[in-house]
Amino acid sequence: MRCFVAIVPPEQVREDLDEFCAPRRTALPDLRWTDAFQWHLTLAFLPDVLDADLDELTDRLADAAARRRPPDARLAGGGVFPDATRAKVLWTGVEATADDRAELDRLSVGCRNAAVAAGTTVEGRGFTPHVTLARLACPADASGLLEVFGTYVGPSWRAAGIELVASYLGEGPGRRPRYETLAELPLGRR
């Protein structure tokens, strides 16, 4: 099963960002926009979770989440992967104080370590806190996008927990992924 561990911003945070993106969707129809209800901050990507490992994975993630305090953050600015001249993914960043950013980093490492200890493969290297907004069909210069999305500043919120989410490619509306939350795990319960 393809899964990820994520922080899902509260509804009012996603609504604010969605309002900012709405006029850009029509102005930039060549982008494949991610649905607002699917926006999340990925802490760990788990490309192949075995059903037999799911209970242990959930327990270990619950323990990792309980060890971390809930950080305060807000969505702000814009960025692209891999770089501005060959952009394929448009995202908004996550702003936090130095202490809260360190807490997000520790949470990501804890989730990755929990998955490995449960026998699950973790994909990806470093943690770049972001929310994917859209994908470009072909790599392109995104200087204009960065200028526009660099102005976004959303409301602050406190992350209360993490979610373990299964991702089913091509099963959602418009052949997009369909997400199913397998577990909601609170932060800071120890």
Whether 125 is a known active-site residue: answer: no
- What are 131's strand-pairing partners? 92
DSSP-derived 3-state class of residue 65: helix
d(CA 56, CA 137): 38
Radius of gyration of the chain (CA): 16
- Tell me the CA distances in angstroms from 32 to 29, 132, 166, 174, one per residue in order: 8, 11, 21, 10
Whether 63 is a known active-site residue: answer: no
> Could you tell me if 2 and 140 are in contact, meaning their C-beta atoms sit under 8 angstroms apart?
no
Please give the structure tokens belonging to residue 178: 């369909």
Among residues 40, 68, 74, 112, which one is catalytic?
Answer: 40
DSSP-derived 3-state class of residue 107: helix
d(CA 159, CA 6): 11
Among residues 14, 60, 74, 130, which one is catalytic?
Answer: 130
> Could you tell me if 84 and 141 are in contact, meaning their C-beta atoms sit under 8 angstroms apart?
yes
- What are 185's strand-pairing partners? 162
Residues annotated as part of the active site = 40, 130
